[in-house]
Structure 1
Amino acid sequence: MTEKIAVLGAGSWGSVLANLLAENGHDVRLWSHNPEQVNVLNDQHENPKYMKDFKYSETLIATESMEDAIQDAKVILIAIPTGGIREVANQAGTILSRLNQVSLILHATKGLEQVTYKRPSEMIAEEIPETNRRGIVAITGPSHAEDVARKDLTAITAASADESHAKEVQVLFNNDYFRIYSNDDIVGAEFGAALKNIIAIAAGILVGLGYHDNAKAALITRGLNEIKRLGVAFGANPFTFTGLSGVGDLIVTATSVNSRNWRAGNQLGQGKSLDDVMADMGMVIEGVYTTKAAYEMSQDRHVEMPIIESIYKVLYENADVKVLINGLMQRDMRSELD
């Protein structure tokens, strides 16, 4: 069954998900605030800044009018960096109210808001009136846009407090190379999605310093433990972190050169400054901002997170990473299950 779907955000992930939905036979409107990007997408079916050498479906329609994208859309997918999600959700909510329209709201954002520590679904709930949304679903899991574009086999999670909404998303997205599993733990899914970016930065740092597989395996395993510890403190189901939005997303982000967070960490490990790394990347490095939020949350809730605390000190206090690694290895001995 063909549905009209609005995708707000034409970066790599948003545009690739929009293309997948269009190829699945849906009527997709991809919104971007950049008129030049819209023209290139519509005329040449390309998005060169984000997805070099990839051809988009000719049935995918881009627009710079958010209202045109949203009007009559049964589903709205927000796929932008965390820092902009509140503003875009507010604009979408205003349009939905004006149109007297009710839509299912999806997001594919992986981060936490600064200062408030709020998750993307919480920001969306505050900005889009309840009367204009059927529910909120988080889409997250091990999924580089580049791999989805080449139709690599991919499995991710759709999480919602109302699992019937997650199952609705399954029907929209599932095809022969892209599979979505449902989950009713949106808190855990969003924590896993956000915090794994911090561990990916740490993994990149290790490689940049010359460490090998043993070190990476130790980091990923103990990093997952910290992610779970903080998520559970905020009400997440611990079993969520053993799934696609937890360990799955962590593995792919902490081991791949396609990860901006890994690449940023790798450059830090090689001795570059954070300012130079961020300038060189040219796109948002979510883990840098999430590190600050996660560190402050852990301090507030008295949750022990030594790896994430160390990355915070590297990013925000210019601490010597080699000294911090030595400190981590020399910590008091303890049980693995603590």
Structure 2
Amino acid sequence: MTTAAVLGAGSWGTAFAKVLADAGTDVTMWARRPEVAESLSTHHRNPDYLSDIPLPPIAATHDPAVALAGADIVVLAVPSQSLRTNLTAWKGLIAPEATLVSLIKGVETGTLLRMSEVIGEVTGAAPERIAVLSGPNLAREVATCQPTATVIACADNERGVALQHAIATGYFRPYTNTDVIGCEIGGACKNVIALACGIASGMGLGDNSIASLITRGLAEIIRLGVAVGAEPATLAGLAGVGDLVATCNSSLSRNRSFGHVLGAGGSMEVAQQATHGQVAEGVKSCTSVRALAVRHDVEMPLTNAVHQVCHEGLSVREAVGNLLGRRIKPE
């Protein structure tokens, strides 16, 4: 039987561990806090995330060595800006041929590396051993077995197919792809556009405004993706449009919810409280995505506006005014 370690017990790590177990994969979860690991092992519930959803019998531990022992698949489900620190501590515990799977959406601050690049740099793993998963996969809906599809991207197609079989269930349908860059750029950027959509919603703007933001946001994502080597078709699929639409429209999206509070006049601190302390990845990603765009001379006005609101004190009304005041031009 295939064995997997899921490192990270947040909403998405918890939901994905359930997917693996439901697909017949032997799963062990790692949780940072011993009491969370104990609850997962004994009561089959995560006391902090998705606490009302029963989980299948899944082993859990707060000792990474125990979680990683013999794991064929190592699933990384920690916040993007803490991946390097965590992985540095774990790398000596990972089996030499294990497949490393990133569930993480973001670009590392400072280095501007994608998550698969951070994984390769820290562990020394070849690109063929590293996969990323991305799609319209809101954690709560996945955990309650609502049907969805996803993309598992890996440079090694055979490894991607093996992963596909390890995670396929009656409600979770994975497609393979070899465009790791496209999947990661789509996943990192959609959180930023979701913040913009949340801000618009909080300001009381309607469906036309949201649709316009999603569409122009997609244009930004494709421009950046192509500049760094992504395939445009990937960004027109589940890991691009699919993930973008789900994240920008759903009240289950932390990024949209965070933006909604800002749009309604709340501060960054109030928005953080409203998302129950969970990480809205777009708040940090907007800075690194903007820097990556500057590096590649790509224009990303929505991303720039979100960065200015979150980190430079620009009011949401000033940001909207600046966007609407931009020079008109062909689409």
Q: Tell me if TM exceeds 0.5.
A: yes
Conserved? CA contact 1:220–1:251, under 8 Å: yes
Q: Which residue of 2 aligns with 1:293?
A: 288
CA apart distance, 1:73: 1.1
**What SS does the aligned partner of 1:157 have?**
strand
Take 1:288 and 1:77, find their aligned partners in 2: how far apart are those partners?
24
Percent of aligned positions that are identical: 37
Q: Which residue of 2 aligns with 1:312?
A: 307
1:203-253 superposed Cα distances (whole Å, 9 cap, x missing partner): 000010010000000000000000111111111111111011100000000
Q: Which residue of 2 aligns with 1:37?
A: 36
Q: Which residue of 2 aligns with 1:283?
A: 278
Q: Which residue of 2 aligns with 1:180?
A: 174
Take 1:104 and 1:308, find their aligned partners in 2: how far apart are those partners?
33
**What SS does the aligned partner of 2:82 have?**
helix
Q: Which residue of 2 aligns with 1:84?
A: 82
Residue type at the aligned position of 1:300? R
Take 1:205 and 1:233, find their aligned partners in 2: how far apart are those partners?
28
CA apart distance, 1:267: 0.1
Take 1:101 and 1:167, find their aligned partners in 2: how far apart are those partners?
20
Residue type at the aligned position of 1:87? T
Take 2:161 and 2:24, find their aligned partners in 1: how far apart are those partners?
18
Q: Which residue of 1 aligns with 2:316?
A: 321
The 1:141–1:274 alpha-carbon spacing in structure 2 relative to 1, beyond 3 Å, is same
**What SS does the aligned partner of 1:130 have?**
coil
1:63 aligned onto 2:61: yes
Take 1:48 and 1:170, find their aligned partners in 2: how far apart are those partners?
29
**What SS does the aligned partner of 2:66 have?**
helix
Q: Which residue of 1 aligns with 2:17?
A: 18
Residue type at the aligned position of 1:225? A
**What SS does the aligned partner of 2:129 have?**
strand
| TM-score normalised to structure 2 length | 0.96
Q: Which residue of 2 aligns with 1:168?
A: 162
Query: Quick check: 19-28 or 229-238, which moved more?
Result: 19-28
The 1:129–1:298 alpha-carbon spacing in structure 2 relative to 1, beyond 3 Å, is closer
1:157 aligned onto 2:164: no
Residue type at the aligned position of 1:93? K
Q: Which residue of 1 aligns with 2:241?
A: 247
Take 1:324 and 1:108, find their aligned partners in 2: how far apart are those partners?
31
CA apart distance, 1:56: 0.8
Q: Which residue of 2 aligns with 1:107?
A: 102
Conserved? CA contact 2:6–2:30, under 8 Å: yes
Residue type at the aligned position of 1:294? V
CA apart distance, 1:134: 5.9
**What SS does the aligned partner of 1:179 have?**
strand
Take 1:327 and 1:40, find their aligned partners in 2: how far apart are those partners?
49
Q: Which residue of 1 aligns with 2:198?
A: 204
CA apart distance, 1:324: 2.4
1:190 aligned onto 2:184: yes
1:76-99 superposed Cα distances (whole Å, 9 cap, x missing partner): 111111022112222231113xxx
Q: Which residue of 2 aligns with 1:333?
A: 328
Query: Quick check: 285-294 or 67-76, which moved more?
Result: 67-76
Query: Quick check: 277-286 or 141-150, which moved more?
Result: 277-286
Take 1:259 and 1:304, find their aligned partners in 2: how far apart are those partners?
26
Take 1:61 and 1:272, find their aligned partners in 2: how far apart are those partners?
40
**What SS does the aligned partner of 2:101 have?**
strand
Q: Which residue of 2 aligns with 1:233?
A: 227
Take 1:316 and 1:300, find their aligned partners in 2: how far apart are those partners?
19
Which residue of 245, 259, 264 corresponds with 2:258? Answer: 264
Runs of 4 or more, structure 1, over 6 Å off, are none
Q: Which residue of 2 aligns with 1:5?
A: 4
CA apart distance, 1:294: 1.2
CA apart distance, 1:163: 2.1
Number of residue pairs aligned between Structure 1 and Structure 2:
330
The 1:75–1:269 alpha-carbon spacing in structure 2 relative to 1, beyond 3 Å, is same
Take 2:55 and 2:124, find their aligned partners in 1: how far apart are those partners?
33
Conserved? CA contact 1:102–1:134, under 8 Å: no
Q: List runs of 5+ in structure 1 lacking aligned partners.
A: none
Q: How does 1:137-152 map to 2 (within 5 A)?
A: 137-152=131-146
CA apart distance, 1:17: 0.9
